[in-house]
Amino acid sequence: MPENMPQPAPILELENIRVRYGGLPVINGLSLKVLEGELVCVVGTNGSGKSTILRAIMGTQHAFDGKILFNGKPIHHLNTEAIVAMGLVYVPEEKMLFRPLSVEENLRLGAFLLKDEKRIAENLDFVFGLFPRLKERRKQAASTLSGGEQQMVAVGRGLMSNPKILMLDELSLGLAPILVDELLDTVVRLKHEGLTILLVEQNVREALAICDRGYVLQTGKVVQEGSGKELIGSESVRKAFLGL
């Protein structure tokens, strides 16, 4: 636990990675790190390459240069399943739910790598405690849920395997402000429970308000980094994103 360690070790480190998409560079020599127990956010406008970072970490879009280290071990040559098995869990922007299956079946598939039925049941209870609305709708097909509820299923499914780091991609996309607040409150709660979280958001104000540290991305490069408070108070961030 963090309080026993004066200097928490970085759980995830990206060193100077470059990613191309269709021959075009999307990420140009980006470095970032996430320490154990931290809530880190990456903000930037549309097309700044935020989601690409997460896809590169997950091995869906391979970085052609640079290093990605998880607990000090390189993971950039592994395939997605192996990366998930190490405890890196990704909640994609597109949610990618198994739409005809019920809420509970979706959540149980999140625990696919766990074999202990008791632990799966505990995690299911934990997720239902976090999102009571999902418990009410546990037998309902995922496709029949509202956008906000589907996002809850996506996050809950990500939590089902006891991840070591949870990566959330555009949690707030397309949701009503009240739901965004609710989901971000849940993120903060998860952080307090000791979970390490990497959050990618275009909702800059809200993301910076809750994170420990943040990175500001522009055209595939980190242009600014610092604590959430520092960034929210910085002149350039206020000008570029907050319209102040």
Q: Which among 110, 138, 141 is positioned nearest to 123, based on CA atoms?
A: 110
List the 88-91 sheet strands across, edge first: 88-91, 165-169, 196-201, 39-44, 213-218, 221-227
Site for another protein in 132-161 (CB under 8 A): 157, 161
Q: Which residue in the set 16, 80, 144, 227 belongs to the binding site for another protein (CB under 8 A)?
A: 80
Using rule CB under 8 A, residue 163 touches another protein: no
- Number of residues this chain uses to bind another protein (CB under 8 A): 24
The 3-state DSSP class for residue 47 equals coil
Q: Give the range of 31-39, 78-86, 131-139, 223-231 binding another protein by CB under 8 A.
A: 78-86
From 191, 55, 210, select the one nearest 130 (Cα to Cα): 191
When asked if residue 37 is in the footprint of another protein (CB under 8 A), the reply is no
Region from 27-35, 64-72, 87-95, 122-130 binding another protein, contact rule CB under 8 A: 87-95
Q: Between the CA of residue 240 and those of 16, 50, 211, 234, what are the distances in Å?
A: 24, 16, 19, 10
Which CB atom, from 75 or from 204, has the smaller least distance to another protein?
A: 75
Query: Is 60 a residue that touches another protein (CB under 8 A)?
Result: yes
Whether 131 contacts 179, CB under 8 Å: no
Minimal distance, residue 51 CB to another protein, in Å? 13
Which residues make Cβ contacts (< 8 Å) with residue 67, sequence separation at least 6?
Answer: 13, 14, 15, 16, 17, 74, 76
Question: Residue from 9, 64, 81, 181 that binds another protein (CB under 8 A)?
Answer: 81
CA-to-CA distance for 94 and 58, rounded, in angstroms?
A: 15
- Binding test (CB under 8 A) with another protein, winner from 16, 112, 144, 239: 112
98 contacts another protein (rule: CB under 8 A):
yes
- Does 96 bind another protein (CB under 8 A)? Our answer is yes
According to CB under 8 A, which one of 8, 20, 31, 109 is a site residue for another protein? 109
- H-type alpha helices, the chain: 50-57, 80-85, 103-110, 117-130, 132-136, 147-159, 177-192, 204-210, 228-233, 235-240
Q: Which of 9, 85, 121, 176 binds another protein (CB under 8 A)?
A: 85
Query: What residues make contact with another protein under the rule CB under 8 A?
Result: 58, 60, 79-81, 84-85, 89-90, 92, 96-101, 105, 108-110, 112-113, 157, 161
